[in-house]
């Protein structure tokens, strides 16, 4: 049976409220984009995966790029929310570092593969995509830098540089961990990198602490 025949025989979805349909289409699009990449994915593939006609897909998203950007916005927001929640989860800075590292590892491990759209997109030559990818990296680092600056009284620029380093370490090691087969349990891997990070960031004394003049 050809792909066209399969599409024709596959039952179409029942009518859904607009928001529910949009979420369904985003879920189908994520599966296709993660599996095929942006350039190889086709709107026909996404409509077929969702079990809808292509006109229904176009009622919600005028084109493939708009669909991709909607997904990217969704998952960039999710990552930033997770990082902010990790920072707000405790006032113990050692635990804050551990929680932030775990937020990145959890994001990368998610079975939907959304991290590939954010960190491994094949469309970074598109300005709208590049802007979103750069912005979420900077926004996450900004959230971390605010805690560093507040606790150490370091200048904003220095706190931001340290935060970029911490977030970069979290993102790169999490992707390496996943790509190497997850031979180390996630909690152990995140804890290991958190320990490395803490050994560095703890060298900057707390503002007003005993090591400060």
15 — pLDDT class (breaks 50, 70, 90)? confident
Enumerate residues 6+ apart whose C-beta is below 8 A from 158: none
pTM attached to this predicted model: 0.86
pLDDT at 11 over 70: no
DSSP state of 84: H
Which of 179, 75, 175 has the alpha carbon at shortest distance from 129?
A: 75
**By three-state DSSP, how is residue 27 classified?**
helix
List, for residues 166-192, the tens digit of each pLDDT value.
999 999 999 999 999 999 999 999 999
Rama region for 17: left / alpha / beta (φ>0; ψ in -120 to 50; rest): beta
Q: Specify whether the CB–CB gap between 209 and 151 falls below 8 A.
A: no
pLDDT, position 23:
93
């Amino acid at each position: 049976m050809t792909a066209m025949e399969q599409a024709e025989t596959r039952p179409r979805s029942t009518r859904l409220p607009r928001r529910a349909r949009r979420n369904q289409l985003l879920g189908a699009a994520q599966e296709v984009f993660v599996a095929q990449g942006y350039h190889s994915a086709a709107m026909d593939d996404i409509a077929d995966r969702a079990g809808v006609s292509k006109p229904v897909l176009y009622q919600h998203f005028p084109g493939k790029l708009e669909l991709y950007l909607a997904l990217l916005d969704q998952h960039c927001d999710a990552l930033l929310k997770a990082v902010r929640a990790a920072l707000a989860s405790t006032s113990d800075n050692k635990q804050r570092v551990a929680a932030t590292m775990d937020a990145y590892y959890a994001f990368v491990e998610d079975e939907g593969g959304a991290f590939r759209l954010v960190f491994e997109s094949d469309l970074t030559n598109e300005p709208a995509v590049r802007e979103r990818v750069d912005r979420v990296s900077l926004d996450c680092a900004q959230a971390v830098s605010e805690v560093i600056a507040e606790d150490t009284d370091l200048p904003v620029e220095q706190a931001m540089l340290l935060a970029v380093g911490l977030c970069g370490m979290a993102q790169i090691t999490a992707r390496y961990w996943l790509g190497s087969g997850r031979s180390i349990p996630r909690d152990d891997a995140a804890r290991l990198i958190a320990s490395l990070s803490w050994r560095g960031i703890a060298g900057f004394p707390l503002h007003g602490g005993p090591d400060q003049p």
